[in-house]
Amino acid sequence: PGRYKLLGQAIFGIIGMLFLFWATPYSAELPFPFVKPALFAPDIGWLYIPFALLVLLGTSNALNLTAGLDGLAIVPTVISAGVFGVLAYASGATLSGFNLADYLRIPHTAGAAELAIFCGALCGSGLGFLWYNAHPAEMFMGDVGSLSLGGALGALAIVTKNELVSAVIHGVFVAEAVSVILQVGSYKLRK
């Protein structure tokens, strides 16, 4: 049942968030994009863990709702991974003493530049899946693929401190999740 799957995701998500906070120099600041000053980021303390868990589980399950036999989920996944690759590199790179994150006015996350390699691997594997799964589709991504790819994109949003921007980056997934929620709600209300 879905509730047990969601409970398992929440348990692993909480373990991951606790590891992120206690094993790395990670902060509970939540940067707001498109607001002056550009780096306005209040520290929301312990409330950050449930918020980050919502981002992680929401992204994972939204991608799962989008997944289908005809590449519905993999194309936005490749695009999102590419965008996060650029953001990860920009937020963690220091080029000859020049801090790229400060110049672009995005949150600096130490060590995030290495995630660009992971994002490149996501893009490459997604394009390989899309090429292999061209018409007629032969493979179904299933829960294993869609939940893990969604979890990876949600984790990238959290680690690069782009939790709020991820709602725009994952626009297709957000729209699909809202559509499913409205359809199920309407069905239950109207019988």
How buried is 174 (Cβ within 10 angstroms: 0-12 exposed, 13-18 middle, 19+ buried)? middle
- Measure the CA–CA gap between 134 and 71, rounded to whole angstroms: 8
- Predicted pLDDT at 157: 93
Q: Is the pLDDT score of 70 beyond 80?
A: no
Cβ 40 vs Cβ 106: under 8 Å: no
Lowest mean pLDDT among 35-44, 112-121, 144-153, 170-179: 35-44
Residue with the bigger pLDDT between 76 and 137: it is 76
Residue with the bigger pLDDT between 6 and 37: it is 6
- Predicted pLDDT at 155: 93
Cβ 173 vs Cβ 185: under 8 Å: no
- Please state the rounded mean pLDDT for residues 161-177: 91
- Please state the rounded mean pLDDT for residues 27-37: 75
**pTM of the model as a whole:** 0.88
